[in-house]
Amino acid sequence: MANHLLGWRLIGLVLSVLCFVGFFSLALLAQGQFASDFAAGVYSKCRRTTDATSDGCWAMASKFLFEPSWENISATALVAAAPILMAWLVSWLIYHMVRQIKERSGTLEKGPERDS
């Protein structure tokens, strides 16, 4: 049973890494798109409501553009990791609940004792 479980752990680890890369990329793209749309709205409103020059409005709007920094990237990494951590936690809980149910009903095969 231990070898079978190791295979599932490897599959889970590979899927987790792929999901993290995908979620992280999507989150960065979404942040950039949101910031770009917001800056475009600020620029458009500035041009419609004030007599500022195009350069003045662009200077104001460019403050809202997404600039990658360690704070943004680390926060994005946490957002990307959250669903993966939750999935691991739920699967661990389900595994242990099933294991306890099998132990109580006496259908669990007893393997060699491990120190862990």
For the chain, the residue count is: 116
The rounded distance, in Å, linking the Cα atoms of 24 and 75 is: 10
User: At how many degrees (to 10) do helices 2-49 and 54-61 cross?
Assistant: 150
Per residue of the chain (116 residues), give pLDDT as tens.
556 667 778 888 888 899 889 888 888 888 888 888 888 888 888 888 877 777 778 787 777 776 666 677 888 888 888 888 898 899 889 989 988 888 888 766 665 555 54
Domain ranges of the chain: 11-105
The H or E element spanning position 34 is: helix 2-49
Q: Please tell me the pTM assigned to this model.
A: 0.59
